[in-house]
Structure 1
Amino acid sequence: MEASDNSTLDSRDADQTMDACQASEEEELRCSGRIRNPTERMLAFQKEEAKKKEKRLIHLYDQWKTQARKAREQLKSDISESQIAALIDSLEKGKDNVTSLYMEIRSHLTPSSEMRRRIDACEAVTKDIVKIAYERIADLEDYDSEAVKQRVRELLQRDYARSIYGSTVSPSSQHSLNSIVAAKRADAAAELAAKEAEYEVLLEEEKQKEKIQLLEEQQKRDLEAQKRELERLKAEKDIRAARARLVVHNQEVMQEDSVYSADLNTRGQQHVSPQHPVSSAPIQQPTSVPNPALPPQTDVSYLAQAVQDTIAMNRLPMPEPSVFTGDPIQFIEWKASFASLIDRKNISSADKLHYLRRYVGGPAQKTLDGIFYRNDDAAYKDAWNRLNNRYGQPFIIQRAFREKLANWPKIQSKDAEGFRTFADFLHTCQEAMPHVKGLDILNDCEENQKLVQKLPDWAASRWNREVTHVMKEKQEFPSFQDFVAFMLMEAEVACNPITSFHALRSSESPIDADTSWLIWKN
């Protein structure tokens, strides 16, 4: 019985123990899933620890800065390889201590901009010194004091290194706090400046909107004035036409009256002296009457001349823009002609879209797919935005010019027409320079060398002589404008219709022509 009671007690104790373990595990699960918010004292403690670590970081940074200055001074002298290696190890160890402590501070507190600047300067200066140290190890046997000093002196030219080598005074903790406050003040000032700039932009936008509204109202008034002027001109035209008809009728009446008066005079003279012919007096009778119709006759002549000029202008062929097929080089010229001949006309957006579809072809027409299902102002503006983004950006245009220059084949020695074609395209590039941003790179000597490689040997030799002469006098390489002027002159000489080689070789034998070409190009 006692044994059975003991076994029963043991089983009960085991069950109680298991229940307690399960309860503790459930309590741990509930506690682990709960979000822990630090108390105010904990936050204050963390901030205090972060400040202590920051002071420690400043101290380590000052130690590293001292090591960097000593390392720079040691690299000026002739030291052994072991000393250089020890210098590298100590400097990198100091840098590692600074960066590791900085990472700890960064995990609990957002560092200031001054602190980040110091860490960046620490890494950059360490990298520069270590690089020079390895260069010293590589050239240890060939030690040159002046070269080493010059190389070390270059470290002072870095902007980030001025704070390392410029002062030996170690900043205190108060300086660190002041730097933090200064950084916050700088951020606040930057935010204020941004807000002020935004406010100024809003004011400018309001002013611009008012200007646009005034311009629109002025345009409406001008349009109404022009319409009234057109109506006045129409009325004046009708008045002049009516006046011209009245003048014609008056002349007919005056002619009839003069004929009637002449008939009466003739009859009277025949009754007195029938043998004498009729004198010229009756014929001169209309001329004795005042002629108030001269101004109307002038108006009639003016109208006749205006009608004649209008008919002559209508007989001329109507100007129209070319078809743009997707060449960025031709985009600016085509856009200007389209704007002048079609876009500025007083027609609807649907008509403008119709003309745009008519004068765009090739790959450029695929850019406008889907636009022509609409016929409103938004569709017309959208079409031009697509064309400007695809072909009108300065970078795309200057890239097209440069690709065409790069792919231009080399000109043969006797190809005068090819030489003139290349010169004309170079002149086109020069004319496009003020309007295409990026083409100024053609003034560079390296780009000029690529262009000279396209020329025949005799032209390259002559340009070399010109370049040498200009560099000797002005101490600078000739500009792209000078090169274009040279090419145009040489093309004119090579294609002269009277005295050029191409004009003379038609009357010579092939051997004489080759000899003349060699003499001419030299």
Structure 2
Amino acid sequence: MQQSLSQLPQREVPVFSGDVLAYRSFIRAFESVIEKKTNSDQDKLFYLEQYTSGEPRDLVRSCEHMRPDKGLKEAKRLLQYHYGNELKIATAYLDKALKWPQIKAEDAKGLKTYALFLIGCKNTMTDVEFMEEMDNPSNMRTVISKLPYKVRERWRNTAFDLQARQGRRARFEDLVGFIDWYAQVVNDPLFGDIQDVNPDAKAKPVAKSAKKNIKGANFATGVTPIVKEDAKSVKEIQKTAKSTGTLERTCLYCEKAHALNSCEKIKEKEHPERIQFLKNK
């Protein structure tokens, strides 16, 4: 048995900085990894200081001038009072759950993170008093409000089904189970992500003003539609030509007696070449 234990990886004690939700894990790790390996209360007290920081370390240091056995006992009592109180633990869990930021639609990672936290809440309910507040319908509604609309809608059906089929209202445990299941669905490696490959890649329609200008310019019939900038240029050039009378008297391109939009020669040119000609004029 001793040989098997020696082959296991070395266990580590996390540094406790004052997070109420992390206190129980810390003190259990400390007792298992440190306290069981030494009989010296003095060593235990110094190790307790080593594995704490901030206010928890100040509490431990305040006991170091006492006799080692009393100092260790008092240090652990102070830590338990400030961070291990069940009401404080329950309140910390409840506050964190109710103040969780809104989860956006299709945020699979965010939903999974919330689900894991709520699982921790549910598991703590079996061992900590006052956690029954999580079962309060008002608090449950707040938890539900953090979910994307599609998930809330699905939960509404699930809660109604529990009432209709089993004759009971949904409990916090049911809600956690549902959120965990849904988080697994959207995080499925094969079919979890059903978003469009490129939702913004949509064909942009030609502006109405461009279409109107294209229709008005007969010489552009049958060629590639003019974009907004070109259409605007054509409109301005045509307006200038009309004001000078050149569009109606003499062809700007071949200088013969016909309108520019009736010129067969300019119609034979490529669209970019025609636009450039008009701009140069």
Bin of the TM-score, shorter chain as denominator length? 0.5 to 0.7
8 A contact 2:86–2:129 mirrored in 1: yes
1:397 maps to amino acid: I
1:380 — aligned with what?
72
Judged with a 3 Å threshold, the aligned counterparts in structure 2 of structure 1 residues 396 and 474 are, in CA distance, closer, same or farther, namely same
1:287 — aligned with what?
none
Over 3 Å off, 4+ runs: 312-317
8 A contact 2:45–2:60 mirrored in 1: no
The C-alpha deviation readout for 1:427-478, integer Å capped at 9, x for no partner, is 0001111111111121121111110111110000000011111112233211
Q: Secondary structure at the match of 2:10?
A: coil
Aligned equivalent of 1:431, options 98, 123, 138: 123
Structure 2 CA distance, aligned partners of 1:381 and 1:359? 16
Q: Does residue 509 in structure 1 map to residue 201 in structure 2?
A: no
The C-alpha deviation readout for 1:76-107, integer Å capped at 9, x for no partner, is xxxxxxxxxxxxxxxxxxxxxxxxxxxxxxxx
The C-alpha deviation readout for 1:385-414, integer Å capped at 9, x for no partner, is 100100111101001101111221010112
Structure 2 CA distance, aligned partners of 1:370 and 1:364? 10
8 A contact 2:16–2:52 mirrored in 1: yes
What is the correspondence of 1:184-263 to structure 2 with a 5 Å cutoff? none
Structure 2 CA distance, aligned partners of 1:372 and 1:316? 33
2:199 maps to amino acid: P
8 A contact 2:125–2:132 mirrored in 1: yes
1:384 maps to amino acid: K
8 A contact 1:349–1:375 mirrored in 2: no
2:16 maps to amino acid: F
1:489 — aligned with what?
181
2:191 — aligned with what?
499
1:352 — aligned with what?
44
8 A contact 1:353–1:375 mirrored in 2: no
The C-alpha deviation readout for 1:341-365, integer Å capped at 9, x for no partner, is 1223342000101110111112322
Structure 2 CA distance, aligned partners of 1:486 and 1:315? 40
Deviation at 1:371, TM superposition (A): 1.4
Structure 2 CA distance, aligned partners of 1:460 and 1:468? 12
Structure 2 CA distance, aligned partners of 1:350 and 1:497? 52
8 A contact 1:353–1:380 mirrored in 2: yes
Structure 1 CA distance, aligned partners of 2:66 and 2:10? 28
Q: Does residue 457 in structure 1 map to residue 149 in structure 2?
A: yes
1:489 maps to amino acid: W
Q: Does residue 448 in structure 1 map to residue 134 in structure 2?
A: no
Gaps of 5+ in 2: 203-281
| TM-score normalised by L of structure 2 | 0.67
Structure holding more helix per residue: 1
Structure 1 CA distance, aligned partners of 2:5 and 2:106? 47
| TM-score normalised by L of structure 1 | 0.37
Structure 2 CA distance, aligned partners of 1:313 and 1:449? 47
Structure 1 CA distance, aligned partners of 2:133 and 2:5? 46
1:415 — aligned with what?
107
Structure 1 CA distance, aligned partners of 2:123 and 2:90? 12
Aligned equivalent of 1:404, options 83, 87, 96: 96
The CA RMSD measured in Å over matched residues stands at 2.3
Deviation at 1:316, TM superposition (A): 5.6
Q: Secondary structure at the match of 1:489?
A: helix
Q: Which has the higher contact order (CA 8 A, sep 6+)?
A: 2
Judged with a 3 Å threshold, the aligned counterparts in structure 2 of structure 1 residues 474 and 419 are, in CA distance, closer, same or farther, namely same
What is the correspondence of 1:99-248 to structure 2 with a 5 Å cutoff? none
Structure 2 CA distance, aligned partners of 1:314 and 1:430? 35
Structure 1 CA distance, aligned partners of 2:173 and 2:77? 33
Aligned equivalent of 2:162, options 470, 489, 499: 470
* Identical positions, percent: 27
Deviation at 1:499, TM superposition (A): 0.7
Q: Secondary structure at the match of 1:321?
A: coil
1:423 maps to amino acid: A
